[in-house]
């Protein structure tokens, strides 16, 4: 095992989690930490391949997954990490649960439905899995990768973060806030400022 590699992975994971601590983390801090971790992980993967358990220990391998999970600004690299993590799981070098989370992340980024319901979004009714394939069979798929039922995950997220809140746009006319809930894929919606009546049309991407 490479002790220095493990230590650096754990250090970077601590920074990742610190940037996301609390119910209202600073997006700029998260983006800065993620960018630094992404650049570093790219270098590591290019030089030694995927840092699995033999190289970084089980906790270091888990830390490598977390950095890849938050590498959303480079979807091609994130996809390559998924392929490498899949191989690592097959070789007993990584966690199948970590693989499930990264699988969902990459599928959604590629415009496909997720498999395991690990990625949530807020709605007026509460937290729900975002764009999920075969919702009736999801708990069976989750059990196969050592994940509990979806309702338990929803309860955990609600307990950690509280009920979801709508997103907000700034009105170009009066500077007020325009709240709205997530749009469906490729949905077009007209938003109206409640203060001055200014309207704007927004379009959801299918990732």
Residues 45-94 pLDDT 10s:
999 999 999 999 999 999 999 999 999 999 999 999 999 999 999 999 99
Q: How high is the pLDDT of residue 19?
A: 95
Q: How high is the pLDDT of residue 181?
A: 86
Structural contact between residues 133 and 114, judged by C-beta atoms closer than 8 angstroms: yes
Question: Both tokens of residue 207?
Answer: 């990732």
Q: How high is the pLDDT of residue 205?
A: 59
Kindly list the distances between the CA atom of residue 39 and the CA atoms of 60, 76, 84, 99, 147, in Å, as whole numbers in the listed order. 17, 13, 17, 21, 30
Q: How high is the pLDDT of residue 23?
A: 74
What's the CA gap between 179 and 165, in Å, rounded? 9
Percent pLDDT > 70 in the chain is 98
Kindly list the distances between the CA atom of residue 13 and the CA atoms of 30, 120, 152, in Å, as whole numbers in the listed order. 12, 21, 25
Q: Which residues of the chain have pLDDT under 50?
A: none
Q: How high is the pLDDT of residue 116?
A: 98
Q: How high is the pLDDT of residue 21?
A: 86
| Residue 25 neighbours by CB distance under 10 Å | 12
Structural contact between residues 191 and 180, judged by C-beta atoms closer than 8 angstroms: yes
Question: Both tokens of residue 120?
Answer: 């949530």
Kindly list the distances between the CA atom of residue 178 and the CA atoms of 24, 27, 174, in Å, as whole numbers in the listed order. 18, 19, 11
Q: How high is the pLDDT of residue 120?
A: 95
Q: Which residues pair with 128 in a beta bridge?
A: 121
């Amino acid at each position: 095992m490479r002790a220095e590699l493990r230590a650096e992975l754990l250090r970077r994971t601590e920074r990742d989690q610190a940037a996301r601590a609390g119910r209202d983390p600073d997006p700029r801090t998260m983006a800065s930490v993620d960018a630094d971790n992404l650049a570093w992980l790219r270098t590591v993967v290019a030089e030694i391949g995927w840092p699995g358990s033999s190289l970084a220990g089980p906790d270091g391998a888990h830390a490598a997954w977390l950095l890849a999970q938050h590498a959303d600004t480079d979807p091609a690299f994130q996809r390559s990490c998924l392929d490498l993590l899949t191989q690592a799981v097959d070789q007993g070098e990584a966690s199948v649960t970590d693989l499930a989370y990264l699988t969902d992340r990459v599928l959604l980024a590629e415009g496909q439905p997720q498999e395991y319901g690990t990625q949530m979004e807020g709605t007026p009714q509460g937290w729900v899995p975002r764009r999920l394939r075969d919702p009736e069979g999801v708990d069976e798929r989750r059990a196969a990768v050592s994940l509990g039922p979806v309702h338990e995950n929803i309860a955990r997220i609600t307990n950690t973060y509280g009920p979801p809140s709508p997103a907000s746009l700034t009105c170009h006319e009066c500077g007020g806030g325009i709240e709205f809930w997530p749009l469906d894929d490729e949905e077009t919606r007209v938003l109206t400022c409640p203060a001055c009546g200014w309207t704007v049309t927004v379009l959801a991407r299918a990732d």
